[in-house]
Chain A
Amino acid sequence: MDKVYLRPLIIFFLLGLCSLFYYFGELIDWAAWNALRNDFFYGVHDVHRLFFLAPIVYAGYTARVRGAVIVTLISFIILLPRAFFISPYPDPILRMVLFIIFAGIVGSLVGVIRNQSERAQKLEAFITGEKDKLLRILDGMADGVIITGPDYTIRYMNSKMADTFGNGTGLTCYHHLGKREAPCLPQCRITDVITKGAIEKWHCGFPDGTSYEVVAAPYVDTDGTMCQISVFRDILKRTTSPEGIPASK
């Protein structure tokens, strides 16, 4: 049986249980269960009333704001007879109304928070899906593409870059690509790209003699970190054809 069909039953069950507890003193009197007689069931029912928070919050959690409002109103109807006719204590209606307002707000807030949380989860899944799509496109590009974090760590390399330099995801870009121990200053402009959000272009030479034109742009990763996405274009391949004749611009 699907859990969704059980949820209304759970709400009704909780309401029934709370009602039984709330009027248990009257039930003892009516059924003459003298062995169960206890002062707790005949005192001010502020504590007993708090149990109604359980079905209200549960309804807010599972059936959201609408469910919380309905269950709060049902609780109000259940609490009415004691406040109107039974309670010998002062201001029973005021105390009951204050509790209902408090419980209704709590239940509705639970519903709102659940709605927001569910919406955030859906958005996160959507963004992750879009990122996967983008990475698949990048993977098919003829130029090399890497995504670098603000700490120079490579977060992603497309297959072209991985074929040329080897997979260096998790390593620093200056160490993996440039075989250096420190960032490639002053030509590297990752700081400008990440802090100023600028699109930058520079030339990058590596110890093996290869030279790349790098175009970098800011990129926000799924964890919210501002990163740099860079396209590496091999300058030698671009300026010369396979026969060694310079290509037309």
Chain B
Amino acid sequence: MEPEWIIRIVLFGIVHWILAGIMLHDLASKERAFGGHKAPWAIVIIFLPCFGSLVYLAFHPQIFYPS
């Protein structure tokens, strides 16, 4: 594999896991997630790199203003 591609994958991975960490932390601190179940959201966030987090963010915009 070319070094260029390794850099791309590493960068994408870093962004995915930082975002996933923030979203999973928010999901864990919530009493109730959109749709009623938390597990599907956790799966979406982890297994759909970046896009899962964006979808979670779109359905839970209060993550910006928790109070």
Q: Which A residues have a C-beta under 8 Å from some C-beta of B?
A: 4, 7-9, 11-12, 59, 62-63, 66-67, 69-70, 73-74, 76-77, 80, 84, 93, 97
- Give 19 A-B contacts (CB < 8 Å), ordered by A residue: A4-B65, A7-B65, A8-B62, A8-B65, A9-B61, A12-B58, A12-B61, A59-B64, A63-B64, A66-B64, A67-B65, A69-B18, A69-B22, A70-B57, A73-B15, A73-B18, A77-B54, A80-B11, A97-B11
Is A8 within 8 A of B64, CB to CB?
Answer: yes
* Contact string against A for B residues 1-39, beta-carbon threshold 8 Å, 1 for contact and 0 otherwise: 000000110011001001100100000000000000000
Q: Which B residues have a C-beta under 8 Å from some C-beta of A?
A: 7-8, 11-12, 15, 18-19, 22, 50, 54, 57-58, 61-65
Complex: A22 Cα to B54 Cα, angstroms: 19
Complex: A5 Cα to B35 Cα, angstroms: 20
Chain B residues within an 8 Å CB radius of A66: 22, 64
Given known contacts A84-B8, A93-B11, A74 and B64 CB-to-CB distance under 8 angstroms:
no
Complex: A59 Cα to B65 Cα, angstroms: 10
Complex: A67 Cα to B22 Cα, angstroms: 10
> Of the candidates B8, B22, B50, which one forms a contact with A70 in the assembled complex, judged by CB atoms under 8 Å apart?
B22
A-B contact count (CB 8 A): 46
Chain A residues within an 8 Å CB radius of B63: 70
Is A70 within 8 A of B19, CB to CB?
Answer: yes
Is A74 within 8 A of B12, CB to CB?
Answer: no
Is B18 within 8 A of A62, CB to CB?
Answer: no
Complex: A77 Cα to B15 Cα, angstroms: 8
Chain B residues within an 8 Å CB radius of A80: 11-12, 15
Complex: A9 Cα to B64 Cα, angstroms: 11
Minimum CB–CB distance for A128 against chain B, Å = 24
Minimum CB–CB distance for A118 against chain B, Å = 12
Is A67 within 8 A of B64, CB to CB?
Answer: yes
Chain A residues within an 8 Å CB radius of B8: 84, 93
Complex: A66 Cα to B22 Cα, angstroms: 9
Complex: A67 Cα to B26 Cα, angstroms: 12
Complex: A207 Cα to B6 Cα, angstroms: 91
Chain B minimum-CB-distance residue to A8: B61
Chain A minimum-CB-distance residue to B66: A66
Complex: A221 Cα to B19 Cα, angstroms: 47
Which 6 pairs, one residue from A and one from B, show the smallest C-beta to C-beta distance?
A8-B61, A63-B64, A67-B64, A77-B50, A73-B19, A8-B64
Is A70 within 8 A of B11, CB to CB?
Answer: no
Chain A minimum-CB-distance residue to B49: A77
Chain A minimum-CB-distance residue to B22: A70
